[in-house]
Homo-oligomer: A and B are copies of this chain.
Amino acid sequence: MDFRFSTEVRVRFAETDAQGIAHNAVYLVWFEIARIDYLARFRDGYPGLRAEGIEALTIESHVRYFAAARFDDTITIRVRCGDLRGARFRFDYALERDGTAVADGWTRHACVDAQTHRPTRVPGWLAAEIATAES
């Protein structure tokens, strides 16, 4: 898969568990950090989306764990956005450490009105910026 953007996280001690490795749930937190860093390049990013009264809910998530991530490891998260259709969009992720695949996965999201939690279209400016970034 073709990724044009990446960000990094360093594994926190608090993110490890008694197996001595990063806990499996933490990967979804890292995915979220990657999404937010991805969107931060556009206008006001995810905080801007929230300021418009729009929340992006996570409606599905998937992770494949290939190799353990350990305390203090620097993990590169490659991330791309696509499949924008109405209120919905999808992110794909690939995690690496020194060129070794650590994990990959994807999440699907739906924009909703922050008050009513009813579906609302992805704002045009954001759809346009993502289309440009991924083209």
Can you tell how many copies of this chain the complex includes? 4
Check A32/B61 contact, CB under 8 A, given A25-B26, A117-B68.
no
- A71 contacts the other chain (Cβ, under 8 Å)? yes
- A60 contacts the other chain (Cβ, under 8 Å)? yes
- A23 contacts the other chain (Cβ, under 8 Å)? yes
Distance to closest chain B CB from A15 (angstroms): 8
- Decide if A60 touches B65 in the complex (CB within 8 Å): yes
Q: Residues of A at under 8 Å CB distance from B?
A: 12-14, 16-21, 23-26, 28-29, 32-33, 36, 46-47, 55, 57-65, 68, 70-72, 107, 114, 117
- A13-B32, A16-B17, A24-B32 given. 17 additional CB < 8 A pairs? A12-B29, A14-B17, A14-B25, A18-B21, A18-B70, A19-B114, A25-B25, A25-B28, A25-B29, A46-B72, A47-B71, A58-B65, A59-B64, A60-B63, A61-B61, A61-B63, A68-B117
